[in-house]
Amino acid sequence: MVVGATLLALAGVFNPVSMTGPDALRVNPAQLAFVERPGFSCRFLDLDLSAGNNAFSFAQYNRYTGAFLDQKSKDDILGSIPGAGLGIAGSASASGVEFGFGNFAASVRTVGQGELSLPKDLFDLALYGNQLGRVYELVEPKARAQALLRAGAGVGSAFGEHFAVGVAAYYLRGLAYADVSEARGYFVTTETALAGEGLVAYRKASGGSGYSFDAGCAWWNKGWRVSLAALDLGPGVTWVDGLEQGEFRFVLDSANAYQLKTEDRLSYGFETGAAAPFTSVQPWRGRLGISNDPLRWLSTGLSIECGVDPELFELEHWQAGLVAEFRPLTWLPLAAEVEYDSEDKWCLGADAGLALGRFQMLARFGFMSGVWDRAKGVTLGLGIGYCRAYQHTEPEHFRIQYGVN
């Protein structure tokens, strides 16, 4: 039979458990063997952006930016910050080359990630000023940013009519890295003295390399699909080029404010030097997906993913998502998504596409931890691709073959 491009779109434009072709490399290489796999397919443009925080909504930002802060406003701002502190995270990825043919696909993507965590005491100090006798501490703040080039390929192969396995391998090229390797400090004011001490150390690099592997399996029958995969298995990226480390220290010791102004009671120093090669570990990911297509124009899916620290073998985070993808018109795929993340809480998203023959245009948008002005972040996606139908032959039962037909 020949599977048309419009039917291919329904099989997995927005539902990750149904994705095949180059999109399968993101979730499970075994899905490259799905019956809906295209002939030749490629992406001309694929862009994903995400930015959010765990405290402030867009409404608060608009309300307080440049405004006078009364006591109620200060209480509102500080009350929005959780006890663990303010967390900010962002990510971006863009494809350079993505293409597939049948049960094979290859991808080259640039990926950037960043995260920042600041203790709540810093905002308390900035909003209310220093309180006598209170010790303000800088405890384990986090700051990290990196950019990678991820190039690789995957293949899926079926065993019989309803089961497949797949593998993928990637070369990781580190483009830039920076983090705060150590930070600590305190500040206290008494009736007679000011005192404080602090240390902030950083390291950065401009080049490195690494590798990772993906492996998965998939089962399907009568509109049901089950997908299980282990992703990003590898030692991480070892940084060896442009290595630098620096350290800033300060010590404040003053009997009173006058002495701080007139005497040398504040000492500080900044030192930089070459850093030793180091490895930035990428979390290993496990992904489980279950999908059902109750109607020809409707596809539903549940995805559960967890991230594991490969050094400590501890669970870092987990997320679960539901998606309903439907097609009111043959050329108009639509979807609604809801996702809960252990770090970013929940995200509500809407997706829309346009299928013009073999060409597809896709757009994705989501609100994080709120809707409209109550959101604490957004996710955006844009894609343009080409998909050609594939001629399938009759299946050979219970024999290893390149995809089920």
Contact between 232 and 283 under an 8 Å Cβ cutoff? The reply is yes
pLDDT digits (tens, 9 = 90+) for 255-270: 665 666 666 667 888 9
**Average pLDDT along the chain:** 87
On the question of pLDDT at 382 being above 50, the answer is: yes
Quick one: pLDDT at residue 345? 78
SS (H, E, C) the chain: CEECHHHHHHCCCCCHHHCCHHHHHHCCHHHHHCCCCCCEEEEEEEEEEEEEECCCCHHHHHHHCCCCCCHHHHHHHHHHCCCCCEEEEEEEEEEEEEEEECCEEEEEEEEEEEEEEECHHHHHHHHHCCCECCEEEEECCEEEEEEEEEEEEEEEEEECCCEEEEEEEEEEEEEEEEEEEEEEEEEEECCCCEEEEEEEEEEEECEEEEEEEEEEEEEEECCEEEEEEEEEEEEEEEEEECCEEEEEEEEEEECCHHHHHHCCCEEEEEEEECCCCEEECCCEEEEEEEEEEEECCEEEEEEEEEEEECCCCEEEEEEEEEEEEEEEECCEEEEEEEEEECCCEEEEEEEEEEEECCEEEEEEEEEECCCHHHCCEEEEEEEEEEECCEECCCCCCCCEECCCC
On the question of pLDDT at 180 being above 90, the answer is: yes
On the question of pLDDT at 132 being above 50, the answer is: yes
Q: Averaged over 197-211, what is the pLDDT?
A: 95
Quick one: pLDDT at residue 189? 83
Residue 2 pLDDT class (50, 70, 90 cuts)? very low
Quick one: pLDDT at residue 138? 79
CA dihedral 311, 317, 318, 323 (to 10 degrees): -120
Quick one: pLDDT at residue 343? 75
Q: Averaged over 381-386, what is the pLDDT?
A: 92
On the question of pLDDT at 214 being above 70, the answer is: yes
Q: Which residue has the higher pLDDT, 239 or 125?
A: 239
The set of residues, in sequence order, having a beta carbon less than 8 Å from that of 190 and lying 6+ positions away, is: 132, 133
Q: Averaged over 61-86, what is the pLDDT?
A: 89
d(CA 178, CA 116): 12
Q: Which of 110, 107, 111 is nearest to 97 (CA)?
A: 107
d(CA 183, CA 202): 9
On the question of pLDDT at 313 being above 80, the answer is: yes
User: Residue 52 burial (CB < 10 Å; 0-12/13-18/19+)?
Assistant: buried
Quick one: pLDDT at residue 206? 96
Residue 9 pLDDT class (50, 70, 90 cuts)? very low
Quick one: pLDDT at residue 296? 86
Beta strand pairing status for 377-387 and 359-368? antiparallel
Per the listing, tokens 């905002």 go with 123
Q: Which residue has the higher pLDDT, 357 or 31?
A: 31
CA atoms within 13 A on the CB side of 61: 12
Q: Averaged over 198-207, what is the pLDDT?
A: 94
Within a 10 A sphere around the Cβ of 245, how many other Cβ atoms? Answer: 17
Q: Which of 276, 299, 269, 212 is nearest to 29 (CA)?
A: 212
Polymer length in residues for the chain: 405
On the question of pLDDT at 397 being above 50, the answer is: no
Quick one: pLDDT at residue 261? 63
Q: Averaged over 49-67, what is the pLDDT?
A: 90
CATH class of 2-401: mainly beta
